[in-house]
Amino acid sequence: MSIGWLTPDWPAPPGVRALSTFRSGGTSAGRYESLNLGSHVGDDGAAVAENRRRLVAAATLPREPCWLRQVHGNEVADADAPAASNDASFTHAEGRVCAILSADCLPVLFASANAGVIGAAHAGWRGLAAGVLAATVRAMGERPSALIAWLGPCIGPHAYEVGPEVRDAVLLEVPAARPAFVENSRGRFLADLPLIARLQLQELGVSRVHGGTECTFSQGDRYFSHRRDGQTGRQATLIWLEEP
């Protein structure tokens, strides 16, 4: 089976390319079947390297993506010089590929209207509570109103049950996100990650936000899901500026 991916449906300016991978078309086996792109989840290193090579070739990427060591924080890296641990990256340069790995957390892509800068952020609940979206917008150096955003595949609100401590932590950073938590009969909450991100981005001044409809938990044929499967692989969400 060949490698496949979701192409974002958003009004990105000319020269901005982006995709979010499906889990098929790779060489990994067992719980990582088959296009696992995460090197930190216990999969065979040679299989991950081959999966990444296949992705670069199939998507005709200009170079190897900037793979981050994600820690659910709010540090943002220049794609030319990622630090030891980052949960977002940005670049002004053509040919640099920003990448986010996920298996339920929300990947968020950014592009300026003039294609002068792009970015990508890893936004699970911890990252949202830590302010990773605000940090990414600041690092990109553009007026928020000049940015557009796309929300990639993540666990859907019907499947993402969290405790009150998670809700409280997120609301400290994003007070407007209260409607994104629906209490259930057990005193816990169903959390809507895309809605939290949308509400925070609106507060930041990023009004053009797209995507957020693909659920990793409910589409086992397309996506890895940590909440569904436990130890599992990672898909990648990528963005880059085309080289002339």
The tens place of each residue's pLDDT in the chain, 244 residues long, gives 799 999 999 999 999 999 999 999 999 999 999 999 999 999 999 999 999 999 999 999 999 999 999 999 999 999 988 777 999 999 999 999 999 999 999 999 999 999 999 999 999 999 999 999 999 999 999 999 999 999 999 999 999 999 999 999 999 999 999 999 999 999 999 999 999 999 999 999 999 999 999 999 999 999 999 999 999 999 999 999 999 8
Q: Tell whether the torsion through CA atoms of 171, 85, 208 and 61 is positive or negative.
A: negative
The answer to whether 89 touches 109, Cβ cutoff 8 Å, is no
The CATH classification number of 8-241 equals 3.60.140.10
Q: Which residues of 6-17 are buried (b: 16+ CB within 10 A; e: fewer)?
A: bebebebeebbb
Give the model's pLDDT for residue 244. 80
Give the model's pLDDT for residue 84. 77
Give the model's pLDDT for residue 81. 82
Give the model's pLDDT for residue 1. 77
Give the model's pLDDT for residue 14. 96
Its pTM surpasses 0.85: yes
Residue type, 36: N
Rg (CA), the chain: 17
Give the model's pLDDT for residue 18. 98
Long-range contacts formed by 195-199: CB under 8 A, 24+ apart? 195/157, 196/125, 196/128, 196/170, 197/106, 197/108, 197/123, 197/128, 197/133, 197/149, 197/151, 198/151, 199/174
The answer to whether 180 touches 191, Cβ cutoff 8 Å, is yes
Q: How many CB atoms lie within 10 A of CB 137?
A: 26
The answer to whether 153 touches 20, Cβ cutoff 8 Å, is yes
The one-character DSSP state at 182 is E
Q: What is the Cα–Cα distance from 160 to 89, expressed in whole angstroms?
A: 26
Give the model's pLDDT for residue 132. 98
Edge-to-edge strand ranges of the sheet holding 161-162: 161-162, 189-191, 181-183
Q: Which residues of 182-215 are buried (b: 16+ CB within 10 A; e: fewer)?
A: eeeeeebbbbbbbbbbbbbbeebebeebbbbebb
| Residue from 73, 65, 70 nearest 48 by CA | 65
